[in-house]
Copies of this chain bind each other. A is one copy, B any other.
């Protein structure tokens, strides 16, 4: 979790408690003040830590926030509920719940925005936030195949592209609904969206 190697051998070791306190303080500040309102000085005070201590561990505000938020995304799970529709609905519901929290709401888009300009940050976002989500799609797909709901992969490259599309569709749509359109993600909405993925556009004549 800490950006540098955890064990160094000599000298006074870094306080692990400080790490946790800083990350928790960051989430708190995000929830209360938003991305723009969050300042390093404020986080330091909340964590009961000197501002310089923050900079000894994270090179910038963005990287700190990535780590503060990333742990929340690790909680996402893809349970095997017996059907693809149910599995997708469950994942969407978890993801939506995450995105309604004030701290993620304040941070996620801002991080993505910063990431478009900063390759190093972008890499970190991918590893810590995007990848864990994509794994869920892979898992859900594998489960569906194991249940016999889907064909097994013919070509791994094609399967990867398939997964990419599904992933961008699920994550992008939920984010857009909640953070851009500003509309709630209800159980009913989840059902309709999932149905759209698994079936043709409703109302379509064939």
Contact = CB atoms under 8 A, between A and B. Distances in A.
A112 B201 CA distance: 28
A74 interface: no
Interface of A: 34-37, 84, 105-106, 108-110, 112-117, 122, 126, 130, 148-151, 161-162, 164-169, 171-177, 179-183, 189, 192-193, 196-205
Contacts of A109: 109-110, 112-113, 116
A113 B38 CA distance: 13
A18 B161 CA distance: 47
Given A110-B110, A176-B175, A200-B199, A130 B181 contact: yes
Contacts of A179: 112, 116
B162 A172 contact: no
Contacts of A114: 36
A76 to B, nearest CB: 16
Contact of A203 (B150, B174, B201): B150
Contact of A205 (B34, B105, B148, B173): B148
Contacts of A203: 150-151, 162
Contacts of A183: 164, 168
